Amino acid sequence: MPHYYSPDSAAGDHAIRGHIVTVKADPFLFSDALVEYNDGLIIIEGGVITAVGEYAEMKDKLQPDTHVDHHPDGIITAGFIDTHVHYVQTGIIAAFGAQLIDWLNTYTFVAEQKFADKAYADAVAKVFFDQLLANGTTTALTFCAVYPDSVDAFFEEASRRNMRMAGGKVLMNRNAPEHLLDTTQSGYDDSKALIEKWHGKGRNHYAVTPRFAPTSTQDQLEAAATLLREYPGTLMHTHVSENLGEIAWVKSLFPDANGYLDVYDRAGLLQPGAVLAHGVHLTAHERLRVHETGSAISHCPTSNLFLGSGLFHVHQAKNHTHPMKVGLGTDIGAGTSFSLLSTMNEAYKVAQLVQYPLDAVKMLYLATLGSAEAMGLEDKIGSIEVGKEADLVVLDTKATPLLEFRSAQVETLEEQLFVLATMGDDRVIHTTYIAGNVAYSRDGH
Ligand code: GUN
Ligand code: ZN
């Protein structure tokens, strides 16, 4: 039986031993980004990695009373980071038959109204965090609903689990049902109060969250930019250029703007820590602006396929002259899986359809360090290195009979990682560590 554990604040120093694999640089730009310790050791103090290397070379550093978790059969890697997900859409995964705007009107805006009820929001937040941990996801950048209570439910649960999480209240003051709308002033005031309450408390980060250009007036987008200036270090989270009908709509709503991205650019929303979901149809000039402003794209392949939005060109996004920061997103509930392994699998197929073989090291990077860089958190999370927080996942290469059979044939680490990405999902997640403590164990021990 899977088991979830509460954070153990009394946990002393300890260590984790096994086959350690991590990506410590951007493999789209640098070779030798992958680091491997075949029989490695991670020493953890106060939730932070203080040493990592080969066990044989490090065992003398271990204090006699240090507890060592040994995973002789797994692959230990950095916890997965989901750069775009809607916890309030957990209940509408797999909603049939619509593309973006119809999907929003038919399913999403109906589902999000339920989050006016705090008890309901609390219950869904619990399901959501259980799913993150069971899928090896240790950090996520999350849309909440328009209601401040839905943000409280989110950060209360994040705090209980001691997870490094980012989220925010959706800002939308037009083009949605009456009950889901705020105003420029109330959206600003509510966001400000939530930032004061949650940002920087424990491991929580607030994200100023205008839903997308069609549901905010110019005024509201500018108020969002004011919040970002007033609270440096807060993130910005929105959607951009996901669907061709959406792009045409933005053009008609903002006729003076020079394209979709320019709506956000003119409002002052583009900066490091700004994460824009999708960007499937960005022009070369828009990609350059994302690069220049230090903003990031969250690539959400399961969602882009499910809603028929289009194919993201990851090799264009990560070109050598003006690479954008790119992370992976599940985009639940338009996305179809909480698993970043499944998301890698679909990212591979999307890249294949535009003639680019996306290799496993690049996929693992996108799901870990690339996502941390997109959120501006690469000094804290995203790889297994000294000084980073010990948010880790242990992957079981023998999780199913077929995976065990296939893993027995692999000849290289890259091949093993590719097999895990292609065939893996939550069944592969053996253990998830948060700040060095076991938070989830698939087998309950
Ligand atoms: N664009 C605006 N809102 C949404 C949303 O909730 N999901 C997706 N995928 N795209 C959006
Ligand atoms: Zn989304």
pLDDT of residue 11: 59
Site to substitute for ligand 1 among 108, 244, 281, 330, most atoms within 8 A of C-beta = 108
Which residues does a 6 A CB cutoff place in the pocket of ligand 1? 86, 100, 104, 108, 211-212, 239, 242, 303, 331, 334
pLDDT of residue 388: 98
Neighbouring-strand partners of residue 275: 237, 296
Torsion angle in degrees (nearest 10) through CA of 407, 81, 130, 156: 160
Q: At what angle do helices 184-198 and 148-161 cross, to 10 degrees?
A: 20
pLDDT tens digits, one per residue of 35-70: 999 999 999 999 999 999 999 999 998 988 899 999
pLDDT tens digits, one per residue of 145-195: 999 999 999 999 999 999 999 999 999 999 999 999 999 999 999 999 999
Of 369, 366, 389, 387, give the one whose Cα is nearest residue 378: 369
Neighbouring-strand partners of residue 86: 143
Contact yes or no for 237/275 (Cβ under 8 A) = yes
* Rounded distance between C-alpha atoms, residue 338 and residue 351, angstroms: 20
Name the residue type at position 140. A
pLDDT tens digits, one per residue of 61-117: 898 889 999 999 999 999 999 999 999 999 999 999 999 999 999 999 999 999 999
Name the residue type at position 347. A
| pTM, to two decimals | 0.98
Query: How close is the Cα of 174 to the center of ligand 1, in Å?
Result: 15
In this structure, the residue with its CA closest to atom 9 of ligand 1 is 334
Instruction: Give the ligand 1 atom nearest the CA of 143.
Output: 6
